[in-house]
Structure 1
Amino acid sequence: MSGARAGTDPLVPGAGRDGTAGATSDSGPHSPASELPAGEVLTALGTSRRGLPTARAQVRLEQYGPNELPRTGRRAVWRQLGAQFTDLFAVVLIVASGITFLAYALEEPRDVGTLQLAVAILGVVMLNAGIGFAQEYSAERTAQALEAMVPHTCRVLRDGERLEVPARDLVPGDVVVLEAGDAVSADCRVVEAHELAVNNAPLTGESNAVGRTAEPVAAGPPLEARNRVFMGTDVVAGSGRAVVFATGAATEFGRICRLAAAAPRQKTPLQLQVASMARRVAGAALAIGALLFAVRLPTGESTLTLFVFALGVMVALVPEGLPATLSVSLAIGVRRMARRHALIKQLLAVEALGSTTVVCTDKTGTLTQAEMTVTQVWAGDAPHPVSGVGYEPSGEVADAAPVRELLRVAGLCCNARLVPPTAPREHWRVLGDTTEGALLVAAAKAGLDLGVEEAAAPRVTEFPFDSDRKLMTTVHKTGAGYQACVKGAPGELLARCTDVEWDGRRGLLTGADRASVVTTSDALASQGLRVLAVARRALDGPRPAQEEAESALTLLGLVGMLDPPRPEVTDAVAACRRAGIRVVMVTGDHPLTGEAVARRVGIVRRPDPVVVTGARLDAMDDEVLDALLAESSELLLCRVSPEHKMRVVTAFQRRGEVVAVTGDGANDAPALKHADIGVAMGASGTDVAREAASMVLLDDSFASIATAVRLGRSVYQNIRKFLIYVFSSNIGELGPILAATFAGFPLVPISAVQILAIDLGSDVMPALALGAERPEPDVMDRPPRSRRQRLFSTAVVGRILFLGGIQALGVCAVFFWHIHSSGIPFDDFTEDHPVYREAVTLAQGGIVLSQFFVSLAVRTDRQSILKAGLLSNPALLAAGGFGVALMVAISYLPALQAVFNTAPLDAADWAVLAGLGTLPLLADEARKAWLRRRAARPEGAPR
């Protein structure tokens, strides 16, 4: 087969690159037929229960292509570019440019200034579209690269070996291993099922778990076949094996994706807020332009000239670079979070991170290292310490002989698999549950070869773990008959035991024995250990009822394992506390174990935290739960189920909290979706959890959550910073025009072409640099912002008016001072008068220089710019320097003087402008100092 060519696999007649295997009696495109037995299905697909040979799998991969859905959501490059011209600001500018071109054509005689204005407006549109397109294209490429950092893998059998392969490499005929928490990566026919249940909600909308079987079923619609599982769904319970018959676009999920491709994208609240702001700004600009037209109409100027003037002013008031600047700021935030191991999947998450008030965090893998290590085995009042750390099976069990049977039974009752390193820098790792991985390592340390043990006692039945009964049972065929191997929570398992076997002694489980087990379990849990009990039972047949297999058990002992806290988590929890974020541990572990870990990382500091178990939650109504959440500042939720977690999240949201939830399993998906911010684990989490979440932690560490909150707050702050900068500049431009209009001056202090030059040369680039501003040092020392707070809050509008008003007063002062000092009456001024040209140059230069200092002022909300560092944002200094250099060129270069109607300024003029330009910065520094003093005053002190 290794030499076979693509498209010639003899075992799959009619196969093709549509991703579907043909060649069976199936009446539809999804083959093989549901009514065939499992054995015939495997034969029809040219495979076996051992899976495909590796060489044949490679041939089929070339034949069918990768198991990927077509990227129908990606727009063509020309469509992406064209979309930049449909933004509201772009439409306004395009219409204005067209009208101005028309006005130029109708003028007699034609005014070259009108043509310059039309060309300038069109140039603004083109430049803004170029920036927006470049940013969107770059963001798309970045998102694709970041998505690749979270691997999508599945477990398959090839040549009889269980392997973990990329989901894109699945081919028809692959035998897939399915377990609870797995995402189904292709359309498959089930050939083996052990209490297997899937969630078909992505395909059918029904979120209830649906049982799957390996038995033949009657022919019918594909989605109703109970012996099939489909791409995009997830396994919620049990385990099994299935053979792939359709991949990629040929799957049911691929069909639905094609239907959904034409659906419009939903905008996030932030995008809607910005769109609303754009409409208001455009409306205000139109109103101001109309007002100026009406006020100047009685002066006797031609209607066409006045119309072009009003149109130019209106265009000048539109913040042309705002859409691109918003995109840049969000993209920078996403990239920074990615560098800190937090992959943001939705812009909404960036927005919500800034207002997070509660984090409901899992324990294992998030607060801890997710490398469970058995440190203690207990049987018959005798502890057996275990040496070694992590998944490498190096170490030993002290006096292993008495507990070897306990570890054998525990090892047989596992679905995980130890994987040795294959490269120098790799480590031992676990495929499957980390708790089971720790048991496998402990068994190896006791001298057991589980491969030999599994061959001697092959598994015939399994009752998977579920969160209700907290047990897992496997049934094995032994030389003496059949045996059930059971492991689970000590309290649940102890209640099902009637006998005990310790130190080779077997007898009835007495009350004293039970008390000893409970005392030991609590003692181990109080040390931060996760405790499991292990038992077994002889059975008469291979297919017992679950109740039979899990009753009248013989207790073998306890196993205690530790997952040490991550060293960086303590500082992260402390940072959340300072930021006003409440951290609540939600875990399925024993209360004593949860409290021990919570104390180590700083979630619990008081001697009497409130510890609530799932059983206690069941006894509470919503009012009692709401009161508990309101009163208890240090709260631990232990022994909870996914339903409990969901209920707690809902209760917090009822209280108006903004909730972030962490999770890694399929059963966490409901809470992750319901939370304001669902945070999934990227390294150890299931595909289902990652799909449900809006943020993925690539390193699984709680510290990355704290970092992401800090960066999320800075993103929102940066958006507000450049809004203040841009709109205060617009006030500085509009103020002199209004003053001249109402003062009766016949000409404008600054033309529309000059304003466009300011907006392009001195607005866009500094605004982009402000979008990249680093978080302020005290960003995590402030309480979370309210989600009801708008971009244009009272504080933002107040600061815009404060800084813009100072700019406008300074520009008006320098313009009218120069006009008045000439002693020439207003009516004698013309556009070519040297004094007027000097005055408009002073006005433009005053705006540019004051903008430079305003950009420095808005970098911080309260901190002095001297403490933040004048040189700490070199991009902003470079952008401001470019604007000043452009202004110098406009003042001195004859070619630009002709375009902008300017004149050269002398050193004294520049000195005056520099002094006026610093006024907004000095005034804002005084405001910040007052705010810092007010915040530093003790409560109740006179203000």
Structure 2
Amino acid sequence: MHPERTRQGTTALHEDGPAAGSGAAVQVPAPERPSTPVPSIPSLPVPAVFTALESSPRGLTPAETTARRDRYGPNELPGASHGQVWRRLLAQFTDLFAVVLLVSSAITFLAYWLGQPRDPATLQLALAIFAVVLLNAGIGFAQEYSAERTAESLQAMVPHTCRVLRDGERRELSARDLVPGDVVVLEAGDAVPADCRLVEAQEAAVNNAALTGESDPVTRIAEAVPPGPPLEARNCVFMGTDLVAGTGKAVVFATGTATEFGRIFRLTAAAPRQQTPLQRQVAVMARRVAGVALATGAALFAVRVPSGQPFVDTFVFSLGVMVALVPEGLPATLSVSLAIGVRRMARRHALVKQLLAVEALGSTSVICTDKTGTLTQAEMTVVQLWADGVSHAVSGVGYAPVGEITDAPPVRELLRAAALCSNARLVRPAGRDAWRVLGDTTEGALLVAAMKAGLDPAEEEMRAPRVGEYPFDSARKLMSTVHRDSDGTYFACAKGAPLELLTRCDALGHGDGKTPLTEADRSRVAAAADGMAGQGLRVLAVARRQVSGPRPPIADVESELTLLGLAGMYDPPRPEVRDAVDACRRAGIRIVMVTGDHPLTAEAVARRVGIVREAAPAVATGTQLDTMDDSGLDDLLTGSTELLLCRVSPEHKMRVVTALQRRGEVVAVTGDGANDAPALKHADIGVAMGASGTDVAREAAVMVLLDDSFASITTAVGLGRSVYRNIRKFLIYLFSHNIAELMPILAATFAGFPLVPITAVQILAIDLGSDVLPALALGAEPMEPDVMNSPPRPRQERLFSAAVMGRILFLGGIQALGVCAVFFWHIHASGIPYADFTQDDPVYREAITMVQAGIVVSQFFNALAVRTDRQSVLRAGLLSNPWLLAAGCFGIGLMAAISYAPPLQAIFNTAPLTPADWAVLVAFGALLLAAEELRKWTLRRRRSSPKGGTP
């Protein structure tokens, strides 16, 4: 996502867009920006809104619409930019190993061109090195390209069509055609297409969860409000939100990137994508290995040139040393191994878009998770009813009316009144859609409870049709409706905050009538409400009374009421979350809840899922975070292991993530709303919800949970840790044989042997032909059972720890001794002086074939050895990874072909080996495995881990 792609002429009134001022700003073109501020749109009365936006209740004329569209551009956000394919392919060649090999190939080709006579073997080497680079780039590009999702996510959040008044006529048109000044008609269930100021509102309520993270519907009015933060303006609705109840008309004042949604888009685009720990470690490793390779090659070149060796031959010799030290197969092996992890995670409902994110998730030490939709099901559910001093449990979860109410008859009148006093609608399943609520989710939960009691809300509405309504008001904290009963009389139903409603009641309902409400009764009701609230439930009281007619004064409707009872509801946690949280605790992963909801609601959910177990967890709100400097925030983050951050904004979430990273934590952030996108992108690993999440969140994240289950995160962490362990296994495997390739060359140099014991082409054949498949098989080792029983590794832990380097030197040293022994034994056994050896000498060809075959055979045994750290490979089972055995056999078969097939003999300058030669090589390989088994046995006996980490 690139902000530079936005239309140049479209800006907001204030320098920082709508979010910068004290209220929503008018969108104006930059060339016509006034020198004095235009009054805040929310603070204007309705007539002045039309004047400020140069519009009218009839909407804009076609001519004005065309002019404004040219001025402001389309009402859309720039699509996600993934770069041109050729640029992404070219980026594969910027890897340091690729650069080193490309330079080597170019110099080798230059040496071939300048040499007289030109040696075909030199050209062959240049082409072989270049082919290696192409192969690595192709594999890396294919894996990255197939793993990424390239949907234009932000566009999908803007509704495709909307209803607009144009020149007095109501029209339906594409949301991208909206311009400031348009009059939009909104109804319950509509997505808001742009930032708008309401000029008419009938019982309107919006769900701002996509922007604020707060799931509760918020009432909207049309009257002017005092200046304040844009999202707190009660007469404004914003792009990306939904109207969940009521109707209204609104005037558009900001479109595209000038909207509040666009502000989050710009914040997300500006957030840098963090490098994963593996990226940083591989980059450091590449620099060091490349530096050592170049320095060693240059040093040997400087040693051999003064000795009188031909310049080109000396260069090729030094190049062989450098190629021996560069793990040519590592980029391809790393990419494919990570891709195996990607596929394993996908089978567990976790889609990873970037390969390196697989390992980063495994090193996660802190998970910052939101609440609604991630830990909970985002479906309000009535779980307890109270009537006439008795509690009634309600079973069933979600919007499906499946469940029972304990002793339902006493609460039927309570639920009937609650259902009648609701504007929500319960929508039955259609196709793949499950039961859902259209409107306020709290009212939807009451409808579901009524159906569980055997009531049909639609039929009850027909029996007692609504004739009047007094919408919910934050001052009254009540909502009331008036109905005509089947006998022609009228009655009112009311629901709202328990204490508010209780003060307006003078009677308590019973199954057979009502009794006066005494002070003891009031105390009993208040205690019941407090008890429900203490369980983390949202509590509503329901009452009714007879009224004199269809239009009684509100004072008559909401006084002398008969209390029918209380309803307690909550957003139920996902059933699998508690086990996932427990697994994170065992793995040493800290969970911090970061939500836009109220602290009490957040704490109740956190206790249900096991995030909070202490009596008094640390709780901080966004307002409190605003008063903290970085030192204070650090103290908050370190002061308690159980932390809840509530009522936070996108900026707060990003600041928390940055502070945790500053402390050395590897931070994973979960989210589903557009407000989560900046933190998702800034985190080490952003995890978005795939089913319920917004597309902007999925675009910003590097991992998407296809089932929205927090438990999938735990599984993915275990798989990520397994990937890291497997990466270290095949790094030991790859680098140990690099020592075996280098040592014969160094030994030949210091022994005065004029030729290389192994050529660069042979090294490339080993690195790509014999080593890649076994390394991949090691990368596919299954997850070990204890992978989630240890704390995450420190962020600063090196991939090449002291223990890993020790194991590389141990295994590589044994291999090097073996191949040096077979080479010089073969040379000395011939009785030919060193100076008389040439490239075409049969003995020399046999000797270098022995070296190449010795490395290949010993690597077969090496692959078996590195499968476990301390456990004997015999106990793990030689046949438990059949792909590894098949890959090793393939490498030996390829080596046999290089030794015996005449065309390959010509390319690699090799010779046929005798059965005795193979027997000697197998004996050396078995010796390596036996030595490694002895090392593991010693470690098991000592029962202690070496410093620097376990390889």
Q: Give TM class, smaller chain.
A: 0.7 to 0.9
Show the counterpart of 1:777.
Answer: 785
CA–CA separation in structure 2 for the residues paired with 1:643 and 1:472: 26
Matched, 1:444 2:444: no
Change (3 A) 1:243 1:272: farther
Matched, 1:726 2:734: yes
Change (3 A) 1:363 1:615: closer
Specify the SS of the correspondent of 2:788: helix
Matched, 1:914 2:932: no
Show the counterpart of 1:106.
Answer: 114
CA–CA separation in structure 1 for the residues paired with 2:607 and 2:426: 29
* CA-to-aligned-CA distance 1:90-128 (integer Å, 9 cap, x gap): 333223222222222222233222122122122222222
Structure 1 residue 840: deviation in Å? 0.6
Which stretch of the first structure deviates more once superposed, 260-269 or 81-90? 260-269
Residue 814 (structure 2) aligned to one of 806, 813, 817: 806
Structure 1 residue 617: deviation in Å? 12
Structure 1 residue 843: deviation in Å? 0.4
Show the counterpart of 1:610.
Answer: 615
Change (3 A) 1:537 1:382: closer
Matched, 1:35 2:35: no
Counterpart AA for 2:58? E
Counterpart AA for 1:533? L
Is the 2:368–2:669 Cα contact (8 Å) retained in structure 1? yes
Residue 519 (structure 2) aligned to one of 510, 514, 523: 510
Show the counterpart of 2:400.
Answer: 392
CA–CA separation in structure 2 for the residues paired with 1:553 and 1:415: 21
Which stretch of the first structure deviates more once superposed, 292-301 or 580-589? 580-589
Counterpart AA for 1:41? G
Residue 305 (structure 2) aligned to one of 297, 305, 308: 297
Structure 1 residue 391: deviation in Å? 2.8
Structure 1 residue 897: deviation in Å? 1.4
Which stretch of the first structure deviates more once superposed, 355-364 or 855-864? 355-364
Show the counterpart of 1:319.
Answer: 327
Counterpart AA for 1:856? L
Is the 1:535–1:556 Cα contact (8 Å) retained in structure 2? yes
TM-score (norm 1): 0.73
Structure 1 residue 533: deviation in Å? 2.5
Show the counterpart of 1:380.
Answer: 388
Matched, 1:340 2:348: yes
Change (3 A) 1:415 1:586: farther
TM-score (norm 2): 0.73
Structure 1 residue 307: deviation in Å? 1.8
Which stretch of the first structure deviates more once superposed, 286-295 or 432-441? 432-441
Matched residues, number: 853
* CA-to-aligned-CA distance 1:357-394 (integer Å, 9 cap, x gap): 34566677655666554343212313345466653335
Is the 1:325–1:767 Cα contact (8 Å) retained in structure 2? yes
Matched, 1:307 2:312: no
Which stretch of the first structure deviates more once superposed, 802-811 or 354-363? 354-363
Structure 1 residue 789: deviation in Å? 1.4
CA–CA separation in structure 2 for the residues paired with 1:422 and 1:237: 20
Is the 1:104–1:110 Cα contact (8 Å) retained in structure 2? yes
Matched, 1:893 2:898: no
* CA-to-aligned-CA distance 1:532-569 (integer Å, 9 cap, x gap): 13257999xx9xxx999999998653223477665544
Structure 1 residue 188: deviation in Å? 6.5
Change (3 A) 1:686 1:506: farther
Residue 289 (structure 2) aligned to one of 265, 281, 287: 281
Matched, 1:85 2:65: no
CA–CA separation in structure 1 for the residues paired with 2:556 and 2:939: 71
Structure 1 residue 131: deviation in Å? 2.0
> Structure 2 matches for 1:425-824, cutoff 5 A?
427-431=434-438, 435-446=442-453, 447=455, 449=457, 452=461, 456=466, 461-463=471-473, 474=479, 486-487=495-496, 501-503=508-510, 505=514, 510=519, 513-519=522-528, 521-522=530-531, 530-535=537-542, 556-561=564-569, 568-569=576-577, 571-582=579-590, 609-612=614-617, 641-642=647-648, 658=666, 660=668, 662=670, 677=685, 679-685=687-693, 695-824=703-832
Is the 1:862–1:932 Cα contact (8 Å) retained in structure 2? yes
CA–CA separation in structure 2 for the residues paired with 1:691 and 1:448: 42
CA–CA separation in structure 2 for the residues paired with 1:422 and 1:856: 55
Structure 1 residue 935: deviation in Å? 4.4
CA–CA separation in structure 2 for the residues paired with 1:384 and 1:276: 63
CA–CA separation in structure 2 for the residues paired with 1:150 and 1:861: 50
Change (3 A) 1:500 1:697: farther
Change (3 A) 1:741 1:431: farther
Is the 1:36–1:216 Cα contact (8 Å) retained in structure 2? no
Change (3 A) 1:259 1:420: closer
State the identity as a percent: 62
Change (3 A) 1:816 1:550: farther
Show the counterpart of 1:207.
Answer: none
CA–CA separation in structure 2 for the residues paired with 1:509 and 1:666: 50
Show the counterpart of 1:53.
Answer: none
Is the 1:84–1:133 Cα contact (8 Å) retained in structure 2? yes
Which stretch of the first structure deviates more once superposed, 435-444 or 551-560? 551-560
CA–CA separation in structure 2 for the residues paired with 1:320 and 1:550: 80
CA–CA separation in structure 2 for the residues paired with 1:899 and 1:355: 45
Structure 1 residue 339: deviation in Å? 2.3
Specify the SS of the correspondent of 1:99: helix
Counterpart AA for 2:435? W
Is the 2:495–2:501 Cα contact (8 Å) retained in structure 1? no
Counterpart AA for 2:450? A
Counterpart AA for 1:814? V
Is the 1:406–1:534 Cα contact (8 Å) retained in structure 2? no
Show the counterpart of 2:70.
Answer: none
Structure 1 residue 281: deviation in Å? 2.1
* CA-to-aligned-CA distance 1:21-71 (integer Å, 9 cap, x gap): xxxxx99899x9973667523997999xxxxxxxxxxxxxxxxxx998675
CA–CA separation in structure 2 for the residues paired with 1:45 and 1:701: 51
CA–CA separation in structure 2 for the residues paired with 1:426 and 1:212: 29
Q: Where does structure 1 lack aligned partners over 5 or more consecutive residues?
A: 1-25, 48-65, 160-166, 203-209, 938-943
Structure 1 residue 903: deviation in Å? 0.9
Show the counterpart of 2:35.
Answer: none
Is the 1:34–1:227 Cα contact (8 Å) retained in structure 2? no
CA–CA separation in structure 1 for the residues paired with 2:264 and 2:643: 42
Counterpart AA for 1:610? A
Change (3 A) 1:769 1:71: farther
Specify the SS of the correspondent of 2:93: coil
Specify the SS of the correspondent of 2:382: strand
Counterpart AA for 1:510? E
CA–CA separation in structure 2 for the residues paired with 1:552 and 1:272: 70
Is the 2:599–2:621 Cα contact (8 Å) retained in structure 1? no
CA–CA separation in structure 2 for the residues paired with 1:565 and 1:905: 67
Is the 1:357–1:784 Cα contact (8 Å) retained in structure 2? yes
Counterpart AA for 1:443? A
* CA-to-aligned-CA distance 1:472-514 (integer Å, 9 cap, x gap): 75565778999895545x6x76897776643354766736523
Show the counterpart of 2:68.
Answer: none
* CA-to-aligned-CA distance 1:763-817 (integer Å, 9 cap, x gap): 3333344333332222112221111113233333233222222222221122122
Structure 1 residue 87: deviation in Å? 3.3
Change (3 A) 1:760 1:349: closer
Is the 2:271–2:681 Cα contact (8 Å) retained in structure 1? no
Structure 1 residue 153: deviation in Å? 8.6
